[in-house]
A and B are shown apart, each in its own frame.
Chain A
Amino acid sequence: MTGTTTTPAPAERVTHAYARDVALPGGGTLALVTLDNGFDHTKPTTLGPAGLTELREVLLAQQARAAAGEIRALAVTGKPYYLAAGADLRAVSGLVDPALARGIAELGHATYRLLGELGVPTFAFVNGAALGGGLELALACDYRTVAADVSALALPEAFLGLVPGWGGCYVLPRLVGIRAAVDMVLTRPLANNRMTTAPQALEVGLVDAVLHPADFLEQSVAWAARVLDGEEQVTRRELDGQDEWDAVVAAARQQLDRRLHGAKEAPYRALELLASARTADKDAAFAAEDDALTDLIMSDQLRAGLYAFDLTTRKARKPAGAPSAELARPVRSVGIVGAGLMAGQLAVLVARRLRVPVLMREVDEDRVAAGLANVRGQVEQLARKGRVSEGEANRILGSIRISTDLSTLAGADLVVEAVTEVLPLKQRVFGELEDVLEPGAVLATNTSALSVTQMGAHLRRPERVVGLHFFNPVAQMPLVEVVRTQASDDAAVATAFAVAKALGKTAVGVADRPGFVVNRLLLRMLAEVAAAVEGGTPVTVADRALRPLGLPMGPFALIQLVGLPVALHVLRSLHEDLGDRYPLSPGLERLAAEGRRVVPEPDGTGAEADVDPAIQEVFGEPGRDGSLDEQGVLDAVLAGLAQEIGLMLEEGVVEGPEQIDLCMVLGAGWPLHLGGICPYLDRTGWSERVLGRRLLEPGVADVPAPRTADAPV
């Protein structure tokens, strides 16, 4: 390896800053600055070095005009639907020189602080999404209006692996209070990047006025004029007291620890900046933001985060392994065999998103009734939460039928079987379906670990069999593994991809190998943990061992979520197919047989579920020979994952490591700062130690340059 391979940084899509004079109703001139990258709404406005430089020059020119008395105020707004979607992160993903990273941080500050030092009042007219550096731009102004329809106000930096470092960590808590600032900077980004809406922004004081979108800009100018003329009073909350400030920060730190156990650097850096914002002066606070941004931009965690974010957004739109979409067959009705819990979720999702009739089959009237009750319950819940209108709820319910007669599925263009995970049963279902369906109809299985190939082996037309592996809960989990067998034809696979896309899911093409991607790796992880426990490692030690990864939950909590019997079913299946890398666990089997939980019942506080120490008894006295410490368990898990990924790539389960990471981020919720998992295995050296090679080229998901002694610090 050369060690210096980098992908060239893509050219900046420069956001221009256009200044135009606007006559204020009360007389005088407002300089109105528009940020516009010259593209439509599909290419959001972002701020890179060239764009910031242009904005800075425009602001400097207006500063001079303000000094000359030519303007009474300045306002910043954006092209339709965007104020700005934040910093141009493509510019940082290839940086190797920390001085350049610091340059980006400092340029942002140098530009934005002009908005507070212009000599005349400044306004942000937030006409659309304001994310990250876009929202910080608004925060840098003296006043803010927002259009009532704006729902994308957010500081997602901590989610990606950065801090709001263009003034956000300093200005925001002083404006909205430390509690609301922690919510926006930490809580929301870490809760799946939840955004703030215009009304919410007004409530916390993030903006000063919410105006109707129909004439937002006109009324913003009028509002600004009233502020300038003293007709509109803008009240701001007082700075929170030091005691409250400290208490909120301490509570936030506890939350972070519970969630991340220190695994992700960025949120902690953000919290430090928030903590000191109350007393720090502006220059010191901005310098601290520069330091934090520089460190984080030069961190592998951020690079892995950007890599994974790109996988789940831009790259996910063109799924790897998908045949041409034109080959997909039209799906005008969908059959589902089985009406159990997951089948019902799938039926509602199909009816809601695909808007086609859904025909389900169950074996007897009792199960038909139970299936209908399940569907009705789901739809009623959707309506209750306001996710669907009453009419839409009626439409969904009306489009789902359940029958005991398989021939009612005869007209379906796609049938998904979701019956019990028993191969002969599934084979029989497919056999019966083949007799009633049109020859072109696609047969899909929602199996999580059985062989799709074997399921279709005895059919007259095995080429129309594919796997469509959904994750539980079906409506929420964004991933679908599309399983292609040796026999599957392009039309069937293309149809599966098209349906996944229409259902709003990200599809990843996988080969028909046991457990596909997500279950194979999750179970490998759990198998290593179980093996350690069976070998004498205390359950509490094994449970804590994976905390440095910052996974969404501990291993035993995961087992509890999936359900111990289900987890064991998959484990046994993988043990059978893949051998001793997936050892059976007598202790877990006993717990399952006794119907016991592996973590205590939730206490209602939302605290993370740790393993129930009482289950230690089924694994015997801990601390025997072969007992591991936390590091030992973690090493075993990482070595196991590296080995398994190496095998999966050899077997061609997916096209490459990117698909593995995409699956783990979307299907298992593995964190962005690990980049899924491959970037983490590379940067910790596990892939080299176990496989003798890296999984991804240097620079793809980490900082490319070797950090030698003479590198700038």
Chain B
Amino acid sequence: MPARPTRSVRDVVFVDGVRTPFGRARPDGLYAHTRADDLAVKTVRELLRRQPGLPPERIDEVAIAATTQSGDQGLTLGRTVGVLAGLPREVPGFAVDRMCAGAMTAVTTTASAIGVGAQDVVLAGGVEHMGHHPMGGDADPNPRFVAEKLVSADALNMGSTAENLHDRFPALTRERADAYGVRSQERYAAALAAGRITPDLVPIAVRDPERGWGLATADEPPRPGTTREAIATLPTPFRAGGRVTAATSAPLTDGATMCLLAAEETATELGLTPRMRLVSYAYAGVDPAVMGLGPVPSTERALERAGLTIDDIGLIEINEAFAVQVLSFLDAFGIDDEDPRVNPYGGAIAVGHPLASSGVRLMTQLARQFAEHPEVRYGITTMCVGLGQGGTVVWENPFAGSTTSEEQA
């Protein structure tokens, strides 16, 4: 009998990530007439173009997340997108769902497969066309949720869960949230002007039957020049007399993201340059009524597994579903609202949050920041998830300690 192969855990690296420009999920939005799966297809093709050293047949898996898996996001996205993108037929694929943490879960799941030696190279990402698939549009929640008080009635409304956070932590005021929202717009605008956003974007041809073809090359949701004065009187749509406004929430967004992960030894073999090394990851559940708190326990757990503390973390990419939810995370870890380590390029409040796509946007941006900051050794990407979950991935900067990492970006 042949000997059973010996097992050893392998290091997993993030090689590259791209995304589509994000569009507003509206009838006149950037992608109103563009299919969700086509968005994902174009990210796959762009990654392959950027990594000419990677033979497509070496891809072992395509994992693509979407919260709503029907229509143009149905039919097992990982497989359909692989076929549509022209990957070899032999490359398999699957679809992932953990709501907002879909792409993050696509990454951690395939990374685990790489770690145990089941795969060498994978594509992982997400897509959400919230214009085609309104949040919860086709959901049919089990009546037991409410009847047995498994979750509170407003736990399925994300805006209400944000209001609940304000209730729970009186220190989280509308003023702090408004200031945070404005800062997100400012930081995004600065990063854009500094050329830190566009290099990760895949131009997308967009057709409007009444205007012809155009090319999407920039994000549509950001509102540059937003001031605290301008947003101070915005209505609070989730609760009369509430605190959460459009300026402190991520807008409804269409977009797709994709990244390339590999076993570190395979990256070396193929000459692929690692931009991040995965250290640990964790998911955790919280009360669905305050789902925004999810990143707190997931980060604690991920740090614990990595043997690190928050003080070891030099950069934080946290998804901004709502300003209040980010603030609750910062308070929990004793981090200042304006800490430059947190979302240096701004966040989802500015750029948008196409649910299952966002996890990989965080990673792609963290990778760029690692290259800019060789003095940083560790960073995290983290996000909250509807129905009360959080997810966190701890990454190591391969450029840490080097002096000339900028050109790697």
Contact = CB atoms under 8 A, between A and B. Distances in A.
Interface of A: 17-23, 25, 32-34, 36, 38, 77, 79-80, 212, 214-218, 221-222
Contact of B209 (A20, A38, A215, A218): A38
Interface string B191-214: 000000000001111010111111
27 contacts: A18-B210, A18-B211, A20-B213, A20-B214, A22-B214, A22-B215, A23-B217, A25-B203, A32-B213, A32-B214, A34-B213, A36-B209, A36-B212, A79-B209, A80-B207, A212-B45, A214-B41, A214-B45, A214-B84, A214-B85, A215-B42, A215-B45, A215-B205, A217-B213, A218-B203, A218-B204, A222-B203
Contacts of B86: 212, 214
A217 B209 contact: no
Contact of A221 (B38, B207, B215): B215
3 smallest CB-CB distances across A and B, nearest first, come from A34-B212, A18-B212, A217-B205
Nearest to B202: A218
Nearest to B205: A217
A34 B207 contact: yes
Nearest to B44: A214
B217 to A, nearest CB: 5
Given A214-B86, A218-B204, A32 B45 contact: no
A47 to B, nearest CB: 16
A18 B210 CA distance: 8
A22 B213 CA distance: 9
B42 A218 contact: yes
Contacts of B42: 214-215, 218
A198 B267 CA distance: 36
Contacts of B41: 214-215
A20 B211 contact: yes
A77 B202 CA distance: 20
Contacts of B38: 214
Nearest to B49: A219
A663 B38 CA distance: 45
Nearest to B38: A214
Contacts of A21: 214
Contacts of B207: 34, 79-80
Given A19-B212, A77-B213, 10 more contacts: A18-B210, A18-B212, A34-B212, A36-B212, A79-B209, A215-B205, A218-B203, A218-B204, A221-B203, A221-B215
A40 to B, nearest CB: 10
Interface string B4-46: 0000000000000000000000000000000000100110011
A221 B42 CA distance: 14
Contacts of A222: 203
B43 to A, nearest CB: 10
Contacts of A221: 203, 205, 215
B86 to A, nearest CB: 6
Nearest to A40: B209
Interface string B100-122: 00000000000000000000000
A32 B214 CA distance: 7
Nearest to A16: B212
Interface string B60-92: 000000000000000000000000111000000
Interface in B151-193: none
A79 B205 CA distance: 12
- Most central of A22, A34, A218 by chain B CB within 10 Å: A218
B364 to A, nearest CB: 19
Best-surrounded residue of B84, B202, B207, B210 (most CB of chain A within 10 A): B207
Interface in B204-253: 204-205, 207, 209-215, 217
Nearest to B211: A18
Nearest to B214: A20
A215 B18 CA distance: 15
Contacts of A36: 209, 212
Contacts of B214: 20-22, 32
A32 B217 contact: no
Contacts of A77: 213
B287 to A, nearest CB: 44
Contacts of B210: 18
Contacts of B203: 25, 218, 221-222
Contacts of A34: 207, 211-213
Contacts of A215: 41-42, 45-46, 205
A141 to B, nearest CB: 16
Nearest to B43: A215
B268 to A, nearest CB: 29
Contacts of B212: 17-20, 32-34, 36
Contacts of B85: 214
Contacts of A25: 203
B198 to A, nearest CB: 10
A215 B213 CA distance: 13
A235 to B, nearest CB: 23
Contacts of A214: 38, 41-42, 45, 84-86
Contact of A32 (B46, B209, B215): B215
Contacts of A217: 205, 213, 215
Contacts of A79: 207, 209
Contacts of A218: 42, 202-205, 215
A80 B217 CA distance: 21
B310 to A, nearest CB: 40
B119 to A, nearest CB: 24
A607 to B, nearest CB: 45
A218 B213 CA distance: 10
A277 to B, nearest CB: 33
A91 B211 CA distance: 26
Contacts of B84: 214
Contacts of B204: 218
Contacts of A212: 45, 86
Contacts of A38: 209
Interface in B235-282: none
B80 to A, nearest CB: 12
Contacts of A18: 210-213
A21 B213 CA distance: 9
B137 to A, nearest CB: 25
B341 to A, nearest CB: 32
Nearest to A212: B86
Nearest to A216: B205
Nearest to A19: B212
A80 B213 CA distance: 10
Which among B46, B214, B215, B217 has the greatest number of chain A C-beta atoms within 10 A?
Answer: B215
A632 B203 CA distance: 70
A22 B210 CA distance: 16
A63 B290 CA distance: 59
Nearest to A38: B209
A458 B213 CA distance: 66
Contacts of B205: 215-218, 221
A692 to B, nearest CB: 54
A86 to B, nearest CB: 20
B203 to A, nearest CB: 5
Contacts of A80: 207
Contacts of A23: 215, 217
A20 B215 CA distance: 9
A448 B211 CA distance: 56
A36 B212 CA distance: 7
A32 B212 CA distance: 8
Nearest to B215: A22
Contacts of B45: 212, 214-215
A222 B215 CA distance: 11
A215 B44 CA distance: 10
A60 B372 CA distance: 48
A130 B215 CA distance: 22
A619 to B, nearest CB: 64
Interface string B129-167: 000000000000000000000000000000000000000
A222 B45 CA distance: 14
A332 B336 CA distance: 74
B147 to A, nearest CB: 47
